[in-house]
Copies of this chain bind each other. A is one copy, B any other.
Amino acid sequence: MPRSIEANEKIKQERRERILTGALELFVRNGLSGTKITDVAQKTKMSNGLVYHYFSSKEEIFIELIRVAFERMIEACKALESAKLDPHVKIKYAIDELAKTIRSNPNACLYHVLIAQAATCDNIPDKAKELIAANRAKPYEVITGIISRGQKLKTIREGSAKDLAFFFWNTVNGLATHQAMYGKSAQSPHLEPIYHMYFQDGE
C-alpha cells in the first residue's frame, strides 16, 4: 500500500506543523518552562502522548522553533543584503517590510519575539544557546554594513553604524512584541520617528 505511506507522511508533517505553531504562541506568552506539554496538547487538540510521538521532548520543540526562526531571519537578511537598492532606500525598505510582516503575519511576528526573548534567557537548552550564539550577530552585521555604506554616500546620518543597527533591531523587536501582545486591536505606530533616526529631514 504505497498510497497510505505517502498519506501518512503528509499527516506527519501536518501534525508537526500544528504542534510547532501552537507551541510557538505558548512559548512566547509563557516561556519555555512556563509552558506545559499539556498546554501544547490542548492547544493543538491532541493527546499528551501524541505530542511525544512527534517530538521527543518539550525542549526539542523549542530548539526546532529557534532553528526555524533563525533560518527565516538569516534568509531575509541575505535577500536584503543582495537587493539592488541604494543603502538609504534599503534601510527604509527594510523597516517598512519588517513592520508590514509583523502586522500582517502573526506567525512571523511571534518568531521575532521568540528570538528576542530567548536571547535574554538562561534556562534554555544548550542546543538553543548554540543556535543563538551562532546566528545572533548576522542580522546586526547586515544592517550595520548597509548603514555604513549609506553613511559613506552621505545619505544616512553619521554616527556609530553599530548603534544605529542596535536601535534598528530594537525597534523591530518592540513592534513585534507590541503586536504579539495586543494583536489586531492595537493601533500600529507610524514609522516616521524611526526614519528620523537614520535620515535627514526631507529625505
Give the interface of A toward B (CB within 8 A). 28-34, 113, 117, 119-123, 157, 159-160, 162-164, 166-167, 170-171, 173-174, 177-178, 180-181, 187, 189-190, 192-194, 196-198, 200-201
Task: Supply 20 further A-B pairs (C-beta < 8 A) apart from A162-B187, A194-B197, A200-B201.
Answer: A29-B121, A30-B123, A31-B34, A31-B123, A34-B34, A34-B123, A120-B177, A120-B180, A120-B181, A157-B193, A159-B190, A159-B192, A159-B193, A160-B189, A162-B189, A163-B190, A164-B193, A166-B189, A167-B171, A173-B174
List 22 A–B pairs whose Cβ atoms lie within 8 Å, in order of A's numbering.
A28-B120, A29-B123, A30-B122, A30-B123, A31-B31, A31-B33, A31-B34, A31-B121, A33-B34, A34-B123, A119-B181, A120-B181, A157-B193, A159-B193, A160-B190, A163-B189, A163-B190, A166-B189, A167-B189, A170-B171, A194-B197, A197-B197
